[in-house]
Amino acid sequence: MMVLRSANRFLSLIFVVFVAVGLSGCLTQQRTQGYDIPEGSLEQVRPGVSKELVEFVLGSPQTTNTFGDEQAYYYVETKVEQTAFGLTSVKSRTVLAVYFDKNDRVTDKAVYGLEDGKVVDIVSRRTPGFGQDRSFLQQLLGSLSF
């Protein structure tokens, strides 16, 4: 009788552990990657304000682009959801673009989302160059002519 009660307790403990592990896979964590765009900062960035004010309000941009006499600052915010098993999925992506004229004054701003973008497949292949795939010894012996 005592052995049966111990076995039931052990099986109950094993069941609780399996249920807890199974439910932990369902838990997700949401986080922000990149720049976190503050709500009130967008109102402060309006046409005519200086580049210094934009940098003071928004901080340094993640990337910039120059075309002709104009320049653009880009701030990218990505909200991702990660499961307990390490699987991540992008829930939203917001790109704030601030455009400047040649006098470093804001001419326009735009907010882009995932629906405005285009998914581009990145090709990881590379063309090997001469000597890159050989070891030091192979390169040394290859340079000797007999």
**CA dist., res. 77 & res. 79, Å (int):** 7
Model pLDDT, residue 32 = 79
The residue with greater pLDDT, 83 or 110, is 110
**CA dist., res. 146 & res. 142, Å (int):** 10
Q: How far is CA 99 from the centre of its chain?
A: 23
Percent of the chain residues past pLDDT 70, beyond the cut: 70
Beta strand spans in the chain (E): 28-34, 63-67, 70-83, 88-100, 106-112
Q: Of 131, 10, 21, 29, nearest to 88 (Cα)?
A: 29
pLDDT in tens, 24-77: 556 678 877 778 877 788 888 889 999 999 999 988 998 899 888 899 999 988
Confidence band of 113 (pLDDT split at 50, 70, 90): confident
Q: Of 26, 32, 15, 14, nearest to 85 (Cα)?
A: 26
